[in-house]
Amino acid sequence: MRLPRPVASLRAALWVVLALGSAAIAWGSLVYFGEDLAPFMLEKLPLPLEDVWMLALKVHVVAAAFSLPACLLLSTKLVIKRTPRFHRWLGRVAATVILFALVPSGLYMSVFAKGGLPSTLGFALSGVIVAVGMVQGVRTARARRFAEHRRWALHVLGQLSVAVISRAMLFAFDAAAVEEQLAYVVSLWLPVVGSLVLVELVSRRRRPSLAIWRNHEALLGARSLRLRPDAPRAARGG
């Protein structure tokens, strides 16, 4: 189903903003790989198993720098329709990185998140949504249930975009002089829950038209089967 032009333009603008935001975060995260500890790292110390946390941070940064741009690319019409083989292989690589690097490192780091338990729960919820969405996205793609695949893929993309949206909200809260702890928790939970709700609303709006299309396709398939002389008698109703 083709999107109306204003909606398509808004979506394209959002994709560009998310891509630029992801690039900016990746660039700013290069400091984590230097010899000197960044302020974000210093404020976490002391930590139990400090080396493990440092490794988890670096794995998470690299995985995130790849995953969000990859998911944005996978959701474009050019890749979906014109390069399906590339779409499949990039999807497999993205799924592997997300399930075996991004989510585990993020869940481990969430235990030590700034903001205490509310932040830990928010990051954990987002990680679980990403993991479930990725597994279900792979399953539905392999089963060729593409409408469901799109829904789960959007959940993954929505949660990965939280990193960009959350940082933008933090800048806004800082400019408005909102208390730091409150700003951190709100800028985490609002994008996590908002993305979850928005994807479900968008998916439900599309379901009726997809259901009609599926029924129409099934009727055409059954009709063509009945008309084929070599079709089994049971399939032709004979």
Distance of CA 157 to the CA centre of its chain: 2
Residue ranges making up the domain that contains 83? 5-227
Q: Which range has the worst mean pLDDT, 35-39, 131-135, 226-230?
A: 226-230
Does residue 192 form part of some domain? Answer: yes
Q: What's the whole-model pTM score?
A: 0.82
* Integer CA distances (angstroms), 102 to 66, 188, 195, in order: 10, 17, 18
The 10s digit of each residue's pLDDT in 170-227 is 999 999 999 999 999 999 999 999 999 999 998 887 654 444 334 444 444 444 445 4
Tokens of 151: 């829904």
- The confidence score (pLDDT) of residue 226 equals 52
Does residue 234 form part of some domain? Answer: no
Does residue 194 form part of some domain? Answer: yes
Compute the average pLDDT of residues 128-138: 97
Does residue 49 form part of some domain? Answer: yes
- The confidence score (pLDDT) of residue 230 equals 54
What lies within 8 Å, CB to CB, of 125 at 6+ separation is 192
